[in-house]
Amino acid sequence: MSEVASVVQKPRVDIVNASFLISTPILAIVGMVWYYMEHGVSWTEPAIFAFMYFTTGLSITAGYHRLFSHRTHSAAWPLRLFYAVMAAGAFQNSAIKWCSDHRRHHLLTDSERDPYSVVRGFFWAHMGWVMVSEEDADVEKVEDLQNDPILIWQEKHIFKIGAISGIILPGLIGYLALGGFAGFMGGLVWGGLLRLVCVHHGTFLINSGAHVWGTQPYSMENTSKDLHLLSLITFGEGFHNFHHTFQADYRNGHKWYHWDISKWWIKGFSWIGLTKSLHKVPQQTIESRRMKTTFEKQEMSITNKEAIEEYRTSLKDCVNLLRSSLKGLNEKRIEYKQERKTLIKDEIASFEAGVKQAWADFAALLTAMKSEQSMAA
């Protein structure tokens, strides 16, 4: 029996994880009902929820996922520290463990060693895999992260940090915004419990839903799908087929209008120097891949083998034309922008010189007039 098969046969229930995942939604519902009956609800509680959902959720998508797992860009230590602290409050393990699982998911998608392979069922990919411990769950291929002092510190104190940022912090915000013990409980229920459950299942839906429903514009090599709707609640992670095909890209929604808050967040921080080296896959690579995948889908319905060869040759021509045109187009657009810039810069400089010259000429004129005046006197 292979090593892999023996591992798959003996999963043990992870009592801590399983009870956590089952009890938190129950606690959230009971807490919400109790809090509503006792204290009602104002706009403050949903605002605390939104703030906590945003900060902990983005720390998973932009931090754990695009920065730490895929190294699609680099980030300065204040941002890495922010991710480490807030993502701990999402209770999805330490960055080092999360990224080890995730890198394995990309490397071995849909295989038995994929920790959340959807081939083992929707529930398994969604949350079942968290509720059992497998012997195969070693932390591996994350040596780069194990050298980051922030992530070493986070790993060591993960539950303490999570308790502070994920439970005490929303409680404190509630205490300050709503006042007293009731306020603390409001923050805890809305920003702690309810938010935790929502972030959990949002993330889980990427592993389950985005491997079951949606389209495959870029690759049919694995089960990953583009499910645009899911991007609304996961800060842009719904473009999962794109992501599996081009995992080095810091964007998941690569078009400017694709709803991808993580992409805008990372880009925004580059303007103040907190993120750098944002990696983008060239447009010609993305579009030619889309053309080839569309062809592959159409090709499946063709039975005439000779015709297929001809179509493939034509496809090559189309792909080559598309690649070279897009490459040229993008280069020329950049050149055009730069050239226009220098052209306008020169024009501005010449007008500025004109203004100076006018004042200099005028000063000379005044001097001439004054000397004329004094001579006349």
Binding site for Zn ion (CB under 5 A): 224
The 3-state secondary structure of the chain reads CCHHHHHHHCCEECHHHHHHHHHHHHHHHHHHHHHHHHHCCCCHHHHHHHHHHHHHHHHHHHHHHHHHHCCCCEECHHHHHHHHHHHHCCCCCCHHHHHHHHHHHHHCCCCCCCCCCHHHCHHHHHHHHHHEECCCCCCCCCCCHHHCHHHHHHHHCHHHHHHHHHHHHHHHHHHHHHCHHHHHHHHHHHHHHHHHHHHHHHHHHHHCHHHCCCECCCCCCCCCCECHHHHHCCCCCCEHHHHHHCCCCCCCCCCCCCCCHHHHHHHHHHHCCCEECCCCCCHHHHHHHHHHHHHHHHHCCCCCHHHHHHHHHHHHHHHHHHHHHHHHHHHHHHHHHHHHHHHHHHHHHHHHHHHHHHHHHHHHHHHHHHHHHHHHC
User: Min. distance of Cβ 118 from Zn ion in angstroms?
Assistant: 8
Residue 167 one-letter amino acid: I
Residue nearer to Zn ion on the CB measure, 187 or 211: 211
- Measure Cα distances from 129 to 136, 139, 295 in Å: 12, 15, 35
Q: Identify the burial level of 365 via C-beta atoms within 10 angstroms of its C-beta, where 0-12 means exposed, 13-18 middle and 19 or more buried.
A: exposed
Residue nearer to Zn ion on the CB measure, 39 or 71: 71
User: Min. distance of Cβ 15 from Zn ion in angstroms?
Assistant: 27
Residue nearest to Zn ion (CB): 224
Residue nearer to Zn ion on the CB measure, 115 or 183: 115
User: Min. distance of Cβ 242 from Zn ion in angstroms?
Assistant: 11
Residue 75 β-bridge partners: 275
Residue nearer to Zn ion on the CB measure, 45 or 260: 260
User: Min. distance of Cβ 166 from Zn ion in angstroms?
Assistant: 23
Residue nearer to Zn ion on the CB measure, 82 or 239: 239
User: Min. distance of Cβ 180 from Zn ion in angstroms?
Assistant: 43
User: Min. distance of Cβ 120 from Zn ion in angstroms?
Assistant: 14
User: Min. distance of Cβ 211 from Zn ion in angstroms?
Assistant: 6
User: Min. distance of Cβ 161 from Zn ion in angstroms?
Assistant: 23
Residue nearer to Zn ion on the CB measure, 94 or 224: 224
Residue nearer to Zn ion on the CB measure, 80 or 105: 105
Residue nearer to Zn ion on the CB measure, 216 or 224: 224
